[in-house]
Structure 1
Amino acid sequence: MNTATPTLDRHDRAELQARNAELATAEPRLRIRDRAQRLGVSEAELVAAECGLSAVELVANSERPMQTLFNELGTLGRVMALSRNDWCVHERHGSYEDIKAEGPVGLVLGPDIDLRLFFTCWQHCYAVTDNGRRSIQFFDREGVAVHKVFLTEHSDEAAYDALVARYAARGKRQPVIEAIAAGNELPDVADAAALREAWLAMTDTHQFFPLLRKFNVARLGALRAAGRDLAQPVASDAVETMLHSAAASGLSIMCFVGNRGIVQIHSGPVSKLLRTGPWFNVLDPDFNLHLNTEAIAECWVVNKPTSDGWVTSLEVYAADGELIVQWFGERKPGKPELSGWRDLMVSLCATPLAGERLP
């Protein structure tokens, strides 16, 4: 059962601001997500309490307030969209185009910003100004950041001001934080042969999620049961190997990073790669990625049949079994997988993939 925390009064708010300031002074390089964890609160609570920043809560008087707010993002012009999980940050410059955000599942299908949205867990939204940088930030019911939209020099600041004025809440309040129940998927599949049969019957990669639900199994459990020709573990540095090869050849790739409320996608080549401590980075003009390679517990090359031929992904997992980042060769429905991507994935594998047996 979800439990709600009481809202903070003024004394609690001032105390949180003081604790945050002390931590920020002692460790100025800590990001707000990390400060929240160290202080034992959610990031949304730090934002709402205006800990080192200014914030205005945004609310919409509708049955779907998060969708209503999200549908306004196209007015902002060119921005930077940021989605992340604990181990990987995905930043993409562009405009919000072709927004489809009415029900519990939404899409953004622009040429630059490409998103899959799962609004069931979205709960809080703030307009934030941090050291002069302005953004719209969305959080889930636990106060964890789902998605952030940062203004750039190319953004429409008047549209931003109008959006904030239209949806600004009256007064200051702390968010009610609710626990989100964890899934009950099993770590291992009961009938590996039946799962493999269902896997081989797929005609679209999007059928993989219903397959997991059908067998009530976690992603890694399904990969381990499918057979090495469909899913096989590869070296933990496979992402770096892949990215260096793709950058050298100009291969166009797709990078998927998500959390429980969103998946953000980059499609295109990568160029500038840089390691900074544990973080391996892509630092291109319109696409930045920051991957904590120390968090990588397992890497897998995964092979799925579709009506367009076999589609292959490189998937990276944390120690708790959560998906950190997923990679494909760039493709559109109706188009076969890029041969350069397939060859690159094959080069990572110790045993043949199922797709290699086909002409």
Structure 2
Amino acid sequence: MENRHAPDSLDSIYSIDSLRARHQQLAAQEPRLRIRERALRLGVPEAALVAAGCGVHARPLAGTAQALFRELGTLGPLMALSRNDAAVHERHGRYLDIQADGPVGLVLGPDIDLRLFFNSWKHFYAVSENGRHSLQFFDRSGEAVHKVYRTEHTDGAAWDAYVERFATEAGLPVVAEPPGAPEQAEAPDDAGALRSHWLGLTDTHDFFAMLRHFKVSRLGALRAAGADLAQPVAGDAVEAMLGAAAASGLPIMCFVANRGIVQIHTGPVKRLLRTGPWFNVLDDTFNLHLNTEAVASSWVVNKPTSDGWVTSLELYGADGELIVQFFGERKPGKPELPAWRSLMASLCAQPLAA
């Protein structure tokens, strides 16, 4: 995989003085750019701008990602933010039932629901920007994995004590380490064998293991499985789905992921608003910002489980990466909501396996 942050000269681009000067010039020319966009324009990872204090005040945090995460439950209500290039997922609530002792972690509270893959996490900061306070976690490439924002309901004394406990004078130098490219084909060697394996699934969590077994990309598996198991749908399917869910009160699940985390919302959606290329959910405790211009294909995906068939709406970028995934609200041991199944079927030109 090409490293989009790879500089011609590490010394020239990562020099703090040089970076601050270039950043100041860019910010003056285009003051509305967000820090992620400024980093992309400057050819550096976002963590490099944070570490250099470009537009923010940042204090490096010492300790492992697991140690830092285990203490978030002491801070009271917070706002959790995870994103990729095309989708931003924000959820308010408390970090509860935190399991962060090994390379894979979980947060399983009723509001904040996360799956954590700590092997890629490396740089951590307490950040202040225009009066907003956050804890920011970055991966080895300097990309933001997860951000935790202080709100008016947060325990301020506990927040301050947390920062003082973990703050250090010298953070790790930020030099992008490109992630290794996974060995995945764009089509399985044996589409029939993949389809048979797919039909034998008993849990949605077994899908990733199936992809590894056949060494095929997620999108490659969808293309090969057959229309009754996965079929492309119209580009406006996500807006139609969210509009129908908002109108009916149908509770949904929304998953947004990057290399280090999956963040999940479960519940209804109510207030929908388009702003330019971004289609937004703007509810009190859940916000989703989705750049629909970045969506190259949309699919309804149908998997068998021990609880019956489970369907999802999945959106992919031009690079084949999953942007966002939606299900009907569901717990293990419970069948899929009939209203969700009906909504997914309504998006499809061909019948789904049942």
Say whether 1:27 aligns with 2:30. yes
Q: Look up the equivalent residue of 1:316 and give its one-letter code.
A: L
Task: Find the residue that maps to 1:153 and give its secondary structure.
Answer: coil
What's 1:186 paired with?
185
2:54 pairs with one of 48, 51, 54: 51
Q: What amino acid is the match of 1:252?
A: P
Q: For the residues of structure 2 that align with 1:275 and 1:2, how far apart are their CA atoms?
A: 33
TM-score by length of 2: 0.96
Match for residue 148 of structure 1? 147
Compute the displacement of 1:12 (Å).
2.1
* Equivalent pair of 2:13/2:19 in contact (CA under 8 Å): no
Q: Secondary structure at the match of 1:331?
A: coil
Q: Which amino acid aligns with 1:19?
A: R
- Give the partner amino acid of 1:169: T
Distance between the aligned counterparts of 2:296 and 2:323, measured in 1?
Answer: 10
Task: Within 5 Å, give how 1:60-139 maps onto structure 2.
Answer: 60=63, 65-139=64-138
- Tell whether the 8 Å contact from 1:90 to 1:290 is kept in structure 2 after alignment: yes
Maintained 8 Å contact 1:2/1:178: no
Residue 252 (structure 1) shift: 0.2
1:341 is aligned to 2:344? no
Name which of 17, 20, 32 aligns with 1:17.
Answer: 20
Q: 1:2 to 1:344 in 2, by over 3 A?
A: closer
Inter-partner Cα distance in structure 2 for 1:8 and 1:291:
36
CA contact (8 A) 1:79 1:149 kept: yes
Q: Secondary structure in 1 aligned to 2:157? A: helix
Whether 1:319 aligns to 2:322 is no
TM-score calculated relative to the size of structure 1: 0.94
Runs of 4+ in 1 over 4 A off after TM superposition: 1-11
Distance in 2, matches of 1:305 and 1:192, equals 18
State the Cα RMSD in Å.
1.9
> What is the CA–CA distance in structure 1 between the aligned matches of 2:282 and 2:2, rounded to whole Å?
40
Q: Which residue of 1 aligns with 2:304?
A: 305
Distance in 2 (alpha carbons) for counterparts of 1:175 and 1:7: 11
TM-aligned CA distance change 1:174 to 1:55, over 3 Å? same
**Post-superposition CA distance 1:290-311 (Å, at most 9, x none):** 0000001000000000010000
Unaligned runs of 5+ in 2: none
From the superposition, tell whether residues 226 and 129 of structure 1 become closer, same or farther in structure 2 (CA, over 3 Å): same
* Segment of structure 1 superposing worse, 12-21 or 221-230: 12-21
Deviations 1:183-222 (A, max 9, x none): 1111111101100111011100000000000000000100
SS in 2 for 1:126: strand
**C-alpha distance in structure 1 between counterparts of 2:327 and 2:14, whole Å:** 50
5+ residue gaps in structure 1? Answer: none
User: CA 1:186/1:332 → structure 2, altered by over 3 Å: closer, same or farther?
Assistant: same
**Alpha-carbon distance in structure 2 between the residues aligned to 1:94 and 1:137:** 17
The number of equivalent residue pairs is 351
Give the SS at the match of 2:224.
helix
1:157, distance to aligned residue in structure 2 (A): 1.5
Q: Distance in 2 between matches of 1:317 and 1:233?
A: 11
**Cα distance change, pair 98–7 in 1 and its aligned pair in 2 (3 A):** farther
CA distance in 1, matches of 2:171, 2:261: 27
Larger CA deviation: 268-277 vs 156-165 = 156-165
